[in-house]
Amino acid sequence: MNRTRPTRDVYDAVADPTRRKLLRLLAEAEEMPLHELTAQFQMGRTAVSKHLAILKEADLVADRKVGRETRYRLNAIPLKEIQDWVSFYEGFWKERIVKLNFLLEEQKMKSDVSLDFQFTSSIEQVWNALTDSVMLEKWIWKNDFKPIVGHKFQFRTEPNEWWNGIVDGEVLEVDEPNKLTYTWISAGESTTITWTLKKGSDGTIHLHFDQIGFSEETKAREGAIEGAKYAWTNMCEQLKKVLEEM
């Protein structure tokens, strides 16, 4: 049997919370009489009947007489129009949420400290200064570093009233002589350091330094990140002197 064209817009019909509740009640039951539906609301039969009439006009509800009683049942087919409309915007937002998550992850992975240095020494000499324990002591601190993935080590210097003078670390990546990554854990802060070496066309060695993972508390502390940049810049000035003496 062909249905007559609805006389009311389906969106208008479901806009009212009472009518949405009626649809939910009918969705949970195969069929319900008017008196049972009315019992679910703090309003009279006449008011409920008016809401049911609007749902009927949108072809969302069908009714039938059983003796003197009118029974109602849900016709969910028109709701597909709403589902299709919502699905379109769901895809719209999913795409943007994916992009947002990507941007947030990208932002998260950006270095908290990023520095670049150039040296005229060979790439092998720079790599050796980054990985040899004796060389490291000349421009950072005493240490037991070894360029072996999984090796745990310490840098040690004179303690003071704010710091015990110890940095704990673990080697994460060794790609001689191009890349070195290790953790840098000190004073409750756990970060990751990456050194990347590239040889320029003129033979200059470009050394890029990244340090990521500072806590939000540290980032919010005035001068904390700038202080880290200053410290590493000074250390790499020492590295330059060590390389020039080789």
**What are the structural domain ranges in the chain?**
10-80, 106-245
Per-residue pLDDT, 222 = 82
Q: 105: pLDDT confidence band, cut at 50, 70 and 90?
A: low
| Average pLDDT score over residue span 17-36 | 93
Per residue in 167-212, pLDDT (tens digit) is 999 999 999 999 999 999 998 899 999 999 999 999 999 999 999 9
Q: The CATH number of 106-245 is which of 3.30.530.20, 3.40.190.10, 3.90.320.10, 3.50.40.10? A: 3.30.530.20
**Phi and psi angles of residue 154, each rounded to the nearest 5 degrees, phi first:** -140, 145
Q: 150: pLDDT confidence band, cut at 50, 70 and 90?
A: very high
Its CATH class, for the domain covering 10-80, is mainly alpha
At 8 the three-state DSSP class reads coil
- Please report, for residues 34, 67, 166, 177, the alpha-carbon distance to residue 169 in angstroms, rounded to integers and kept in the order given: 73, 84, 10, 20
Cβ atoms 125, 245 nearer than 8 A: no
